[in-house]
Amino acid sequence: MTGDIVSVTVPSHPRYLCVIRDITARMADICGMDQATVDQVKLAVDEACSNVIKHAYKGDTTKTFSVIFRIREKEFEVVIDDSGPKADLSCLRGRDLDDIRPGGLGVHFIKRVFDSFAFDKRKRTGNRLRLIKRLDRGNEDHHNQ
Amino acid sequence: MKIIITSNSGHDVLAISGEVDMDTSPELRTHLLEFIHKRTPLLLIDFREVSYIDSSGIATFVEGLKGMMVYGGKLKFVAIPEKIGEIFSFAKLDRVFEIYGSIEDALHR
């Protein structure tokens, strides 16, 4: 299992977010995460992909983006690649949770479950968001039986 | 996501089932704006069959709540499943929205 990679490319239409969510949940489950964590990871990846559609593509549903899942010995990595203009980081800062207004929650959902959240500056065109979650590998036995 | 609108004791109930996400929340928003346009005094949202909500779904409800507050309307949430409630709680919205265990509770408090 360690080193396994699963990748998917989907159109930038919100109707395909459910596909990403289903794959994300399965991958998190394979990593041995408990159900609450699986749910948090699923929401976080969904939010990151929603941001691609909303911010990178400005709602253009004719593009595509890719999501690559990697299971490593001690971490679960999700890389999201798009071909939009470079992300405006101010869009991804999130609002103060005490400031009750629509929007600005997605980044909080990402940061609460992933240990690392960063754009790969080496990517010349488009954006590459890399999310990393450290794994507690004590729970994976049931997947290997 | 499916939305069914019914009435209970003369009050509108909007029952949602399935996933509320960036794809489906615009339909939810349309319904909420119709209730706001009609100045509905009390709208109950039945979450019993909601399996997922993301930030766009939450944003839609925040917008709906603010729209109803303008004219003194009330938006009450009913029967929120635990994993959906956890999301509201993390976002500190469980203290902004009125949340009840059942429609009966929401109508009598």
Kindly list the domain boundaries of chain A, sorted by start residue: 5-144
Tens digits of residue pLDDT in B13-68: 999 999 999 999 999 999 999 999 999 999 999 999 999 999 999 999 999 999 99
Counting one residue from chain A and one from chain B, the pairs whose CB atoms sit within 8 A come to 59
The helix or strand, by DSSP H or E, that contains position A46, with its residue range, turns out to be: helix A35-51
Residue with tokens 């996501």: B1
Cβ contact, residue pair A53, B22, below 8 Å: yes
Helix (H, G, I), strand (E, B) or coil at A61: coil
Spatial contact of B42 and B70, defined as CB atoms under 8 Å apart: no
Helix (H, G, I), strand (E, B) or coil at B38: coil
Tens digits of residue pLDDT in A46-73: 999 999 999 999 999 999 999 999 999 9
Interface predicted TM-score (ipTM) of this complex, two decimals: 0.93
Spatial contact of B66 and B97, defined as CB atoms under 8 Å apart: no
Kindly list the domain boundaries of chain B, sorted by start residue: 2-104
Spatial contact of A15 and B23, defined as CB atoms under 8 Å apart: yes
- Please, what CATH class does the domain formed by B2-104 belong to? alpha beta
Spatial contact of B43 and B12, defined as CB atoms under 8 Å apart: yes
For B96, the token pair is: 């902004």
Q: Collect all residues of chain A within an 8 Å Cβ-Cβ radius of residue B51.
A: none
Q: Collect all residues of chain B within an 8 Å Cβ-Cβ radius of residue A36.
A: 83, 86
Domain A5-144 is classified in which CATH homologous superfamily?
Histidine kinase-like ATPase, C-terminal domain (3.30.565.10)
